[in-house]
A and B are shown apart, each in its own frame.
Chain A
Amino acid sequence: MNLLVLLAIVLLIVAGHQLLRIIELSRGLKKTKEWQITDTDNNMMGKAMLWFMVLFFAFFFWQVARWMDRSLPPAASVHGEKIDVLWDANIYLITVVFLITNTVLFWFAYKYRGGSNKKAVFYPHNNKLEMLWTVVPAVALAFIIIFGLKYWNEITDDAKEPNRVVIELYAKQFDWTARYPGKDGKLGSTDFRQITGVNAVGLDTTDATGHDDVMIKNEFHIPVGREVELTMRSRDVIHSAYLPHFRAQMNCVPGMVTTFKFIPTKTTAQMRKDPYVVKMMDGINKQRAQFNKEPVEFDYLLLCNKICGASHYNMQMTVIVDTEADYNAWLAEKQKAVKTVAIKE
């Protein structure tokens, strides 16, 4: 089979060679060289440029129409909603720029296609024009900078809410552990040298505040409407905690503690009823059926988003947003079930 493919390729090359030789020979009878650009060439390619523009924009709008709704659902956090507004404004702006400039480009390619009886206009510079298209972009960008940075400052400010939930996300090749404070409300300090099978996140066992900390795998809960501060650590290589539905992402770096805060606005139950989400899950489940996979319900997700090794593509944890009451109940139950890690000698 591979031999046949090879043979086909060789024959194609030979055929191409012969074709070019024939064209070469027949060219000898004509006055223009093959490489010379004729009026026909310019007309054909000029028109092709215009056609390309039409098809290019059609392709663009087709993609938008078909795939816009595969985007993530509207943000499920307070700052995320602001990000979505800023995003939309930026996208509209750049789409307009994209459409207008590409139109002018391809239109000019068509309109000013060459001809043996045509002449170009000697127009080497115009400082007013340069000024115009320096200042206008600068002003537009100034707006983008100002709003972008305003939100960035809000998002990256230290968490100050005294009532906030602090959860540690501990990343390692290739899973996540969520650590919650115990009844003392504080997360214990850590010491990577004390990592064992039982002390997988490396608590410093001499620090009593950590003895009641809760280790959660597979699925962690957060309360709607309250500030959640994620503090992130990594055991081995750089990972990244990506919670796209909340518009949250932060690298987990060995040797550092990084943080990201947000306020969830929709419980998992509410999201499952959201019309956008319902439609999206419909599409997903239809596709899954084609692969003989069972249908699923919507869930918030934590994914790893920094290349971390062979199973980087499968490092995930479900996130459940509960009502305040459900969250408290869940946490209390988990806190009760904690087994203290043995103290280091």
Chain B
Amino acid sequence: MATPINTSLEHDHLVHHDHVHDHDDHEESFVSKYIFSQDHKMISRQFLITAVVMAVIAMTMSIIFRMQLAWPGEQFGFINAMLGDKWGKDGILDPNMYLALVTIHGTIMVFFVLTGGLSGTFSNLLIPYQLGARDMASGFLNMLSYWFFFVSSVIMVSSCFIDDGPASAGWTIYPPLSALPEAIPGSKLGMTMWLASMAIFIVSSLLGSLNYIVTIVNLRAKGMKMTRMPLSIWAFLITAVLGVLSFPVLFSCALLLIFDRSFHTSFYLSDIYIGGRPLDNVGGSPVLFEHLFWFLGHPEVYIVLLPALGITSEVIATNSRKPIFGYRAMIGSMLAIGFLSFIVWGHHMFLTGMNPFLGSVFVFTTLLIAIPSAVKAFNYITTMWKGNIQMTPAMMFSIGLVSSFITGGVTGIILADSTLDINVHDTYFVVAHFHIVMGLSAIFGMFAGVYHWFPKLFLRMMNKKLGYLHFWITITMAYGVFFPMHFLGLAGVPRRYYTNSNFPMFDNLVDINEIVTICAIIGALGQGIFLFNFFYSMFRGEKAPQNPWKSNTLEWTTPMAHIHGNWPGPLPTVHRWAYDYSKPGKDKDFIPQTVPLEEGEHDGGAH
């Protein structure tokens, strides 16, 4: 049964009915309610749970290869148990499988967890809720967006079980390594499956993004001007626009690679001799691939980060009992970041052999993007100043996000400088940088979102003490894993090396590698606390009240039951912005957006 697309006409029509049942008087089967649901709330939970499963897989992979790096050549029953005799013979990781694991780890974490899991979950959950809409503009496309995500996840994970192994050319899959099956076993069927999975993933992402944009533009409740939208929605909007503009370029990039692999074209290939013979391909360039890949690749990291920043704005404002500092500046900086993110991609390519003048341009634009990022960090901190900070687990993860955003962000300044990049490109210095901003900041944003909106997702509360324990283990161990990597980079240790033991110059770095791995193991085990809390609370958590965090945004005005259409009666009307916390002259320290302005009261923080 196809849900009609909610146009604004339809929206007005709905408003005139007191009961949402008039619109949808139908019985939902198990399949249409739980499996092929078109309800944004169910879809958001589907995205979340799939992402959690994918994250556990990718994290386990990282433990395997970290064990190899800390104790190369040592035998581990765990490795043999996970990988079998083919890839983990005698408990030692096979070098080809090492490259396969780092490839799939990166692919899953960047795309499936931090894009599908972050945007998919929270855009779906919060856009209709926070805007006062019954659901997304198209429930049908939304449902498809999840199921494409699911199918692409299944293909990606399945690729790990084939004979020649999954794709192994790094998550960046540069050709010719990813184009030539002779170059590495993972570039046989494994690479084909990777490309199939990603093509489907891109479809899922585009369907989702288009839906988010249309919903935000068209389905805001009465009174919900763009400048009254919570910053989370602004973040999801800009993220969706980035996605719509950049993912198709990755698609074309992957398509050309498929052609080179299967149809004897030469987009990326020229002058190659491999497998004992020269190849026919002439005229292509691997650098073309790198341009096309990074044209998505850079906006992608902002697609990963912006939702986390948007979530943090909500969590910090609510839990500081203060308006987010500089609401307009926050919007402006997200717009600036969004725009600039399209013209910095070359900073991943300083040493590809591209024209150095082009490199200079990218140095300039990349250092520019540091400015709005700094503004956001300062604004978060100022929001906390003179606040009445409620230390919920969500708030703690948000504070952790600000810390790691700064820590990881400042090394970005070094990497943005092409001159300085010469000696640290493709070393562990880069690995440290992007993990601190993604494996700390972005993931912390996701955790904050889960802890904060768990009541809306599952109508129950998560356990607070377990939340505290999870936070402290995670932040200490995560910094313990990634901070030392800067020093490995300064020592010249390259990325994607199966072992560092073949170079005497790296022999004095064993203790660094060991500390990294030990922290990784403890940190990974610590996530078990979160998983336990998450699944346990889903069924046995304390029943949630309607507005446990005393927050202003519209999602907290819905009843404590998941009803189709979100509000049992008419849609809410919005009278004010989302940040009236501790407003002077009021008896409560929060004023929901639905409360009308009093006589003489100004909206939007003008005081």
- Which residues of A does B touch, CB under 8 Å? 1-2, 13, 16-17, 20, 24, 33-37, 41-42, 45-46, 48-49, 52, 55-56, 59-60, 63, 67-68, 70-72, 83, 86-87, 90-91, 94, 97-98, 101-102, 104-106, 108-109, 112-115, 118-126, 129-130, 133-134, 137-138, 141, 144-145, 148-149, 151-153, 155-156, 173, 192-193, 195, 202, 235-238, 240, 242, 244, 247-251, 253-256, 258, 280, 283-284, 286-288, 291, 293, 296, 301, 303-314, 316
Q: Could you list 30 A-B pairs, sorted by A, with CB under 8 Å?
A: A2-B77, A35-B462, A46-B389, A68-B487, A71-B490, A98-B407, A105-B384, A112-B388, A119-B321, A121-B582, A122-B323, A124-B579, A130-B375, A141-B371, A141-B413, A145-B363, A155-B422, A156-B359, A244-B492, A249-B351, A250-B353, A254-B176, A255-B271, A291-B507, A305-B494, A308-B183, A312-B496, A313-B95, A313-B496, A313-B499
- Report if A249-B183 is in contact (Cβ < 8 Å); known contacts: A101-B381, A122-B584: no
Q: CA of A341 to CA of B484 in the docked complex: distance in angstroms?
A: 50
List the 10 closest pairs (A to B, CB-CB), nearest first: A255-B270, A124-B605, A156-B356, A45-B391, A244-B492, A94-B410, A258-B353, A148-B417, A313-B497, A35-B461
Contact B419 A155 (CB under 8 A): yes
Contact A83 B353 (CB under 8 A): no
Q: CA of A67 to CA of B510 in the docked complex: distance in angstroms?
A: 11
Contact A37 B351 (CB under 8 A): no
| Minimal Cβ-Cβ distance residue in B for A236 | B274
Interface segment, one of B192-200, B230-238, B281-289? B281-289
Q: CA of A301 to CA of B506 in the docked complex: distance in angstroms?
A: 12
Please, how many residues of chain B have a CB less than 8 angstroms from a CB on the other chain? Answer: 130
- Report if A253-B184 is in contact (Cβ < 8 Å); known contacts: A121-B582, A236-B274, A313-B499: no
Contact A70 B487 (CB under 8 A): yes
Q: In the complex, how many angstroms separate the beta carbon of A302 from the nearest chain B beta carbon?
A: 11
Q: Does B99 contact A (CB under 8 A)?
A: yes
Q: In the complex, how many angstroms separate the beta carbon of A218 from the nearest chain B beta carbon?
A: 14
Q: CA of A13 to CA of B532 in the docked complex: distance in angstroms?
A: 8
Looking at B327, B406, B422, which has the most chain A CB atoms within 10 Å of its CB? B422
**Could you say which residues of chain B place their CB within 8 Å of the CB of A238?**
174, 176-177, 286
**Could you say which residues of chain B place their CB within 8 Å of the CB of A311?**
95
- Report if A122-B583 is in contact (Cβ < 8 Å); known contacts: A137-B371, A145-B363: yes
- Report if A237-B371 is in contact (Cβ < 8 Å); known contacts: A90-B417, A102-B403, A124-B325: no
Which of B174, B392, B509, B589 is close to A70, meaning CB atoms less than 8 Å apart?
A: B509
Taking CB atoms and an 8 Å cut-off, the chain B residues in 481-507 that contact chain A are 483-484, 487, 490-492, 494-500, 502-505, 507
Q: CA of A118 to CA of B589 in the docked complex: distance in angstroms?
A: 11
Which of A137, A153, A236 is close to B370, meaning CB atoms less than 8 Å apart?
A: A137
Q: In the complex, how many angstroms separate the beta carbon of B410 from the nearest chain A beta carbon?
A: 4
| Minimal Cβ-Cβ distance residue in B for A138 | B371
Contact A248 B422 (CB under 8 A): yes
| Minimal Cβ-Cβ distance residue in A for B274 | A236
Interface segment, one of B33-41, B295-303, B423-431? B423-431
Q: CA of A71 to CA of B540 in the docked complex: distance in angstroms?
A: 52
Q: CA of A247 to CA of B492 in the docked complex: distance in angstroms?
A: 10
Q: In the complex, how many angstroms separate the beta carbon of B492 from the nearest chain A beta carbon?
A: 4
Q: Does B209 contact A (CB under 8 A)?
A: no
Contact A125 B326 (CB under 8 A): yes
Q: Does B16 contact A (CB under 8 A)?
A: no
Looking at A17, A98, A122, A303, which has the most chain B CB atoms within 10 Å of its CB? A122
Which of A130, A296, A314 is close to B326, meaning CB atoms less than 8 Å apart?
A: A130
**Could you say which residues of chain B place their CB within 8 Å of the CB of A104?**
381
**Could you say which residues of chain B place their CB within 8 Å of the CB of A91?**
414
Encoded as 1 (CB less than 8 Å from any A CB) or 0, chain B from 377 to 412 comes to: 111011011111111100010010011001100110
Q: CA of A308 to CA of B174 in the docked complex: distance in angstroms?
A: 9
- Report if A67-B95 is in contact (Cβ < 8 Å); known contacts: A86-B417, A137-B370, A192-B272: no
Q: In the complex, how many angstroms separate the beta carbon of A17 from the nearest chain B beta carbon?
A: 7
**Could you say which residues of chain A place their CB within 8 Å of the CB of B371?**
134, 137-138, 141
**Could you say which residues of chain A place their CB within 8 Å of the CB of B3?**
none
Q: In the complex, how many angstroms separate the beta carbon of A225 from the nearest chain B beta carbon?
A: 21
Contact A249 B422 (CB under 8 A): yes
| Minimal Cβ-Cβ distance residue in A for B94 | A310
**Could you say which residues of chain B place their CB within 8 Å of the CB of A155?**
419, 422
Contact A236 B184 (CB under 8 A): no
**Could you say which residues of chain B place their CB within 8 Å of the CB of A144?**
367, 413, 417
| Minimal Cβ-Cβ distance residue in B for A145 | B367
